Structure 1
Amino acid sequence: MVAELERRQSAMELHVINSIQQSLDNNQPLSFQALASLRSLIINPATPDSTLSSVLDALTRSLQLNRDPVFLHHALKLLSDLASHRPHLSPFALDLLRSDSLFSSASPRLVGESLSVLLSLASIGNDMDAARFISLCLGPSVSVRQCLLRNAEKLVFRESVLLAVFLGFTRDPYPYVRKEALDGLVKLCKNGDFDDRDVIEGCYCRAVELLRDAENYVRSAAVRAVKYSVFEVCEWGRLLVICSEDMNKQDSSDAVFIQLGCMVRDMSVDVRLEAFEALGKIGLVSEDILLQTLSKKVLGINKDKAYKPIEGLDISVSAVAGAYIHGLEDEFSEVKFC
């Protein structure tokens, strides 16, 4: 009985493959019924690898004959199913995806689907060249740009390329893209070897600018704690302090503390929470500044006192007047007990 079922299964597989090959030999695009037959072979755990190799060959040839967006959508789904059900064949599916011009499609949705499949198949390695990566980032699709920035660490590029891309897109007109660019910067600098003060100053300046962003989640991302693996001014400030000369470390740390202290009166409760959490991570602060956070009135010692952590950025101590008092008086209990 088992032998008979296996014989019928093999006969059906052979019939499907021969039918598809005949259509391709006549330069006829595959029908959606043929694609459904291919999927039945892919998801069937009894289908041998030799048959699945024929399926890949059929997909390769059909992609050359049919550029219809609907057909390409189904072809991408087949590639994803193949990699999911037969992981050892995913490199071949990946090669097919890379060799095809799916990313040149005029359909943003199709480009996004192609990118999603590529990222799901790719492990560690450069599965997209830098030129294509930048070209897609500069394309009209916001969702594609956001996806690329979020997953950039999966694609092996030079750190200098990623640094330029992330910094550039922190000025993107779409707030979710700005947030992903900030997140990418922190991941890059945490995993890379960035000890150049000019680079750190550039990142710090962008962080300070985005503390005044119109969107809550962008401002919140600008002060979020490192444990959440997203961008925080505190982290850039910490690096800035490390790169400072010994005589300037105290001033740099104070300046970062003041900059974060300016956010405790933000209109967003999430931003206020992140600001207080970030303040708690700074371990080197002058006593007069701490006293100023406990007094809403500007203390005499702090009048006209300002810091310049980097060129072109002046920070007044009066900005943190009563910072902790404001936290204790906050209308939300989670802020009070932060």
Structure 2
Amino acid sequence: MSVPRAMTAIAVLTAVTATASGCGDSPAPLPTGHAFKLDSQRPTPDAGRRDMFAFRRFAIRRFADTEIWTARLRGPGRQQVQLRRIRASESSGPSPLLSPDRRYLISTRGAEGSERYFIDDLQTRTSRPLTGRKVTGWAPDGHHVTVTTTGPQGPGIYALNITSRELSPLLTGIRHPSPAHWAPDGTRLLAYDGELIELDLRTGRARRLALAHSVDAAGAAYSPSGRRIVYATDDDKNGDISENESDPYTARELHIADTDGRNDQRLTRSLDDDEDPIYLTEHTVVTRTSYAVLAVDTRTRRVRTIARVSYLPRSR
């Protein structure tokens, strides 16, 4: 794989969004934010331990069958890769979600459209159903997850307690419920509603983030320090995304920027069908395409393959 060249864009500090009618005269109304405090009895994991994630691989004999694996990046510069097969899966849904303490794994089972989310305990090797709502991410306390659903406050993004199953509203009144990602300290939340929105969970105040490029529905994620974000875009301002000859309509590129929109830099170009990017360490971003899991060094823009996800021989 060729190394993408670095580019720096000046952030647009004034966000201009179209109205719901498309006239563009005034910004669309912001969703309603709600204050929320995580369980203080469960400590936030050390950001330096964010060296492991989970992903799906497709089995070669039946493309609908997948296997769930974890990858751990170790050693100097996170150059060593330790892969572990967790189990087979009959679902080809979104990537599984590994809890901050690495103990629990959330993944889907069942046919598309009727799938349910299950939670696996990797220590006891037990599994139990969690919810039929769409789960999009772990809170840093390891005791809540974000779900998109219609709850007591209407459609939106809620926090779900994995033990009590209690729902707490985070952002309601959104038009396009989508992935949401917590800041490592648990005080902020990134969400996508046709534009990138940051919610201050201490006050319930939501604000638009003004970035140099439009944000794709794949969303965005905070760095371990909480000072930077990585986001996916299909914005073709530089004319490079259309170079993806296989399918230019699903091409994406990844950018990183400060949370105020400054210091925007392109990491990759012409990646097909990116899933939610992961800011694994302060200098490592991970993303999954249709063919591989990739790690990108945010300092050098070097891209390397962590694991292939398609045409995997079935494990016996």
More strand by share: 2
Q: TM-score, normalised by structure 2?
A: 0.21
Q: TM-score, normalised by structure 1?
A: 0.20
Relative contact order (C-alpha < 8 Å, sep 6+): which is higher?
2
Q: Rg larger in 1 or in 2?
A: 1
More helix by share: 1
